[in-house]
Each structure stands twice: as structure tokens, then as C-alpha cells.
Structure 1
Amino acid sequence: MSSLWRNLHLSRAITAAAADFFALQPRQTLALCSDRRGFCINPNRQCSGKRYNVPPSAEFVARVSGIPTMAKLPYQDTAEGLDAAFVGVPIDTGTSNRPGARFGPRQIRVESAMLRAYNSGTRAAPYESLLVADIGDVNVNVYDLKDTCKRIREAYRKIVATGCIPLTMGGDHTIAYPILQAVAEKHGPVGLIHVDAHADTSDVVLGEKIGHGTPFRRCVEEGLLDCKRVVQIGLRGSGYSADSYEWSRAQGFRVVQVEECWFKSLAPLMDEVRNQMGKGPVYLSFDIDALDPGFAPGTGTPEIAGLTPIQGVEIIRGCRGLNLVGCDLVEVSPPYDTTGNTALTGANLLFEMLCVLPKIKYY
């Protein structure tokens, strides 16, 4: 009798083990190239032996499940050990019109659940190339913009000191100033590709020198930019003077007004921009209001007749080969983004930025 019970228990154990094996086979297959946290690379690709963080595929894990980190990447507290990191700066204290950009990083993360591991257009494989994670948000002071800038600067000093490239989710465009302070401390004056409806080079607005309309004036004053390697793309709208971009040109910036972009591919422009930037360090700053509000209505200072999402992607893909040392996507305002499309567009543009960083592998 005892032998019969042993055989019965053994049979049940084998059956259960087999059932578990086949039920979990996709997850086990994925884990063949995983890191210790279970984030892994595509099982159809050959593994390099290096451990990377890769989002769980929606083939096996529902998009609506889990904590909404950027692209469903793992979260870690610091940039230590990372090649690139997504980081949020949730402020709109520097905004001059419609508020709400403080909620931008959160909504971009939610919409980023649609992202997959590979770039079908360029065949970039970022998660087989770089160790990437979401390192959360800078702890900003929503009551004090100057203190917030100090907090951002200190946070980014720590990030860039590790050798990690920050991919920032804004937040209003004020954040570019303290970020570039930290970046320039490490790399020296940097080239800048600034995609925006506005030049953001005002001196004083309502008596204040720090706000989302002034960051690049402050950067020039502090020597953070290599002015011969600065291009501003998509500028448009009514102005406070007949030539709103005179100051930019006087510094040596290349100004590409939106009228120069209408009805055409921007790939030829980016060929010229790459030559202008050369081999030196470059920072990419992309204000979502560069896009026409018909495509991206969820922003604080919309201007009609803007760039298309296709042109936005062309600009970012045109940065491939540059020595990018940081990128940002700013001014997503969820309260004015009733469909979520602005945040979704922002998430995709951030993914495109990841896909053009140095050392990215392409198939």
C-alpha cells in the first residue's frame, strides 16, 4: 500500500511539473538572457553575455499590469552602473501660460507602456546595447523655482558623474538651464539641438530671469553652450518685436524658422546639422510644442502651423552618430491632453532619443 501511495504521489508530481513547465515556457525562454531581476532580451536574438534591462514583452505581460515606469523598465534609485537613464522633472512653476506640465513625466510613463524593445524603422536595439533604467523623479520644490533649479542641478551632477546619459521627461522648459549647468560642468560647453516653437532666449519676463522662456539666455551668459554649434528648429508664432530671433543669430546660433520646414523632409537639414555639431558633446532639447497643436495639443503655449510628428522623428533620427550627452522632452501638459496622444507622442520621441545614443546596436 505504501508503495502504491509513493507511486501515485510521484506520478502527480511529474504531471504537475510538466504542466508548470509548459505553462511557464515563454517566461523561461525569455529568462535565458535575463538579468537578476528577470528583465531580459529577445529570445530570438543571440545573447552577448552582458546583462541588460529590457522591458517585459506585451506578448507575455499585459501592458495594463505593473507599475508604470518609463517603457516598463526596472526602477532603481540612482544612475550608478547605468549607461542611460530616464528621469522625470515634474515642475511647471516656470510656465507663463497654461499649467500642468508637472504631471508630464507621470503621464508619459503611463503612455510608454505601448513601447516595444526594438525600433522597427531604424532596426535599433537599445536594450541589447545599453544598460537602461528609470531612476524616478527629481524631488522638486513646487513653491520655489530657484530652489528647484538648485535641486535639479545637484541631482544631475550626480547622474552625469557616473557616466550615465540622462533622458529627461519634463516638466516645463526651465529645467534645461540647471540640467545644462550640470552637463557643462562635466563636458565643457556643449552643442545644442533645440527643437521648439519658441527661442526661449528672453532676458527678463515679469521681472524674473528664470522661467521657461529664459533658459538658453542664461546658458549663454554662463558659457554653457558652444554657440557656433547651436541650432534652433521650428521657431514660429507672433513675437514681441519684428525679429524675435535677432538675439539668437547674434550669438551665432543657426535659426531654422518653421516656414523653412513646411512641406518637406528634414533629413537634408539634419545632414547639415550633423556637420555643424561635429565630434563634440551635444545636448538635444525637444519642446513638444514644436509640433503643431493639431498633433500635440497637450502643452502650455501652443502655436499653430508647427512641425509634424514625422519631422520630429526625422530630427531625432538625424542625430544618429552625434556625441549626445543628454536629451530632454519637455512641456507635456496632461490636463490639456484629453486623448493622451501628446504624452504618447512624447514617450515615442524619448524612445527615438534612446535609439540614437552612442554605442547603440543596429540590425
Structure 2
Amino acid sequence: MSEQSPIGPVDSSQVPRFAGFATFARLPRIDEVERADIAVVGVPFDTGVSYRPGARFGPAALREASRLLRPYHPGLDVSPFARAQVVDAGDIALNPFHIGSAIETLQDEAQRFAAAGTRMVTVGGDHTIALPLLRAAAAQHGPVALLHFDAHLDTWDTYFGEPYTHGTPFRRASEEGLLDTSALCHVGTRGPLYGKRDLDEDRRLGFGIVTSGDVLRRGVADTVAALSERIGDRPLYISVDIDVLDPAHAPGTGTPEAGGMTSRELLEILRGLAGHRIVGADVVELAPAYDHAEITAIAASHVAYDLVSLLSLGVSA
């Protein structure tokens, strides 16, 4: 089976895009193939949110919005579904009443995918899920480089005394030694903070910051060059909170902030990362109850498609 050509999406000339099962990009389910190089995995969990809930419905909304995705990526000059066996692995069911239990379950499941040689593009869900995914990545590769696209730092210590929330995953990851502290960067941050101490503590953890204003002033090319220099050849994990986009481009999210990046800027920066050793990625905080015309879901589905395409470049053709 390893020499068999990958099974791709349903043929839209035979079955209309609006019909059939809503798998990511109309790809086969994981139980329909004998191997999976890359799996798109849903994690419908939002118990860690601090403001508007609803990201538990993000995976389903992203799948629906992905129906129009096509098999050739001209920006990266790759046909990801022909180069790699990409599948939709469905959703991982987590305990919605106990964050600690949910984190343990997701870490175990992520390590199971890794053991099978399958790299994940995980669709949330809230940003709490990044911590167990980073635990699994570090267990396989050692401390990883991290690019974190987000309006917020997500390096706070606790909320109401709770150490595991969507605002704390990267502090916990740093404390646990999961991250290569010479290769960490937030991209797209903006908005008010609790105090200057937030920035000081974030810097102490090893993070650099490229704000959304920096992207505007420096442009995509200079931003990519700076990020690439910081990452080097280290194994790289990419975490994308969809609220990195301005609410004009992503209203359907739990903690929106004015002054964000455009979807074009985000996608072009991601495409500029081609050639790096990407070991996993997530797209989180899509909350469709606040979306309209699928604006946010469409943006998130294209981000997931670009991440799958980048991962496919690391698969031997």
C-alpha cells in the first residue's frame, strides 16, 4: 500500500461540492485508507475560554467551509493531496467538564498519530489544546521552535487560579521545556494588556514579538525573513489562533481585537515558511456562532489548507 498513489478528494464534476459528507476538503476519512501521511483532526473543545464560548463548533464549521478547496496550490506550486495521503481523521472526543483530563486525552491521541508516522493539522477548539499537542511534538522531536499567530500572547500564568486555559498554554509549554527558547515568536499581537509586566514576563520566557503593526510597516517579505532567521533549521510547530486576523476578516472568534492582520497577509506569511521543517500545526478559536457569511470559517479553512500544503512538502514525492 505504501507505493499506491494517494486517494484524493471527491471529484466535484461527479458529486456537487454542496453534497456528500463534510470531510475537510472532501478528502477520504482515515478509515478509508491504509496509511495517512497527514491528518486533519478536529478537537471540539472550548472549556478553557475566558470570554465568548463556541469554539467547540469550530471543526464542523471549518469542514463545511472547506468544500470549495481545490487540489492544486499555485502559491506553493504543490498538489498536496497527490503528494501525500491526506485524510480527515474526524474528531477527538475530550471531557468537556475537566480540562486536565481533556489535556491528557489529547496528548495520548497526538502521540498515537506520531507513532503511526502521521503529522497532524489540528482544528480547534480553543487554544488550550496547543499544550498537549506541543507535549506530543516535543516527545518526538525534542524542544521545538514555535511560531504563534495570535492577537494575544497566551503566556499568562493563571485565570482565577487555573493554570490550564486558552490564555496560558505557551507559559506552561515553556516551563515544561517543550520549546526551544531561542526560536520562539508571536506574530500579529495587538491590543491592550493587563500591564507592561505581561511583556516583560513574555520576553523572559524567550519569545520575540512581531505585532500586527510591525507586519503592516515591514511588509510580508521582511517579516518572513526575520521569522526564518529566528527559526533556522529547528523542528517547527505552527499555532494559528484565527483572532490574529482583524475582526473584519474573522468576526467569528471568542476574543476579537481591532487592528489585526488581513487574511492575505497571514496566508502569504505562511507560504513564506516553505522549506522549514514543520512537524505539526493547529488552527484554533473559530467560533461560528459569531460568524456571518462564513467569513471566519472560510479564512480558517484556507489557513488549514496552507498548513497541509506546507506539511506535504516534507513528504517524499
Q: Classify the secondary structure of the residue corresponding to 2:123.
A: strand
Alignment match of 2:307 (pick from 332, 347, 353) = 353
> Is 2:119 the partner of 1:180?
no
Aligned to 1:355, what secondary structure does the other structure show? helix
Partners in 2 of 1:254 and 1:309 — Cα distance? 22
Q: How many pairs align?
A: 316
Q: Distance in 2 between matches of 1:360 and 1:293?
A: 35
Matched, 1:131 2:77: no
Shift of 1:248: 1.9
Q: In the TM superposition, what whole-angstrom CA distance separates every residue of 1:20-55 from its partner, at most 9, and x where no partner exists?
A: xxxxxxxxxxxxxxx9xxxxxxxxxxxxx7320210
Matched, 1:271 2:253: no
Whole-Å separation in 2 of the counterparts to 1:79 and 1:193: 31
Q: What is the CA-CA distance between 1:120 and the residue it aligns to? A: 2.6
Q: Give the one of 240, 256, 262 matched to 2:194.
A: 240
Which residue among 289, 292, 296 is the counterpart of 2:250? 296
8 Å Cα contact 1:129-1:359 kept in structure 2? no
Unaligned runs of at least 5 residues, structure 1: 1-34, 36-48
2:54 is aligned to 100
Return closer, same or farther for 1:268/1:78 CA change in 2, 3 Å cut-off.
farther
The amino acid of 1:66's aligned partner reads G
1:228 aligns with 2:182: yes
Q: Secondary structure at the match of 2:30?
A: coil
Q: Which has the higher contact order (CA 8 A, sep 6+)?
A: 2
Q: Does the 8 A contact of 2:75 with 2:271 survive in 1? A: no
Equivalent residue of 1:112, what SS? helix
Partner residue of 2:125 out of 151, 163, 171? 171
Give secondary structure in 2 for the equivalent of 1:182. Answer: helix
Q: TM-score, normalising length from structure 2?
A: 0.95
Q: Which of residues 285, 309, 316 in structure 1 aligns to 2:270? A: 316
Query: Relative to structure 2, which stretch is displaced further, 312-321 or 235-244?
Result: 235-244
What SS does the corresponding residue of 1:280 show, helix, strand or coil?
A: coil
Which of 285, 288, 298 is equivalent to 1:344? 298
Greater Cα shift, 55-64 or 277-286: 55-64
Amino acid at match of 2:205: Q
Unaligned ranges ≥5, structure 2: none
Tell me: CA distance 1:80–1:153, structure 2 relative to 1, closer, same or farther (3 Å): farther
Match of 2:170 among 204, 212, 216: 216
Q: In the alignment, is the contact (CA less than 8 A) between 1:248 and 1:255 conserved in 2?
A: no
2:156–2:198: 8 Å Cα contact kept in structure 1? Answer: no
Cα deviation, 1:60-98, whole Å, max 9, x if unaligned, reads 320111110111111124997211100001011000000
Cα distance in 2, alignment partners of residues 239 and 278 from structure 1: 30
What SS does the aligned partner of 1:52 have?
coil
Runs (4+) off by over 6 Å: none
CA distance in 2, matches of 1:172, 1:359: 27
CA contact (8 A) 2:147 2:185 kept: yes
Q: Distance in 1 between matches of 2:270 and 2:179?
A: 20
The one-letter code of the counterpart of 2:271 is R
Letter in 2 for 1:127: F
Cross-structure match for 1:283: 237
Preserved CA contact (<8 Å) 2:253 2:287: yes
Instruction: Specify the alignment match of 1:85 in structure 2.
Output: 39
CA distance in 2, matches of 1:341, 1:259: 22
Question: Following superposition of structure 1 onto structure 2, how do residues 47-126 of structure 1 map, counting pairs within 5 Å?
Answer: 50-77=4-31, 81-126=35-80
**Alpha carbons of 1:237 and 1:243: their partners in 2 closer, same or farther (altered >3 Å)?**
farther
In 1: Cα distance, 2:70 partner to 2:232 partner:
31
> Which has the higher Rg, Structure 1 or Structure 2?
1
How many Å separate the matches in 2 of 1:66 and 1:84? 22
User: Structure 2 CA distance, aligned partners of 1:112 and 1:361?
Assistant: 25
Could you list the per-position Cα deviations for residues 157-200 of structure 1 after superposition, in whole angstroms to 9, with x for gaps in the alignment?
A: 10111121100100000000011111111111000010000010
Shift of 1:360: 5.7
Q: Which amino acid aligns with 2:95?
A: N
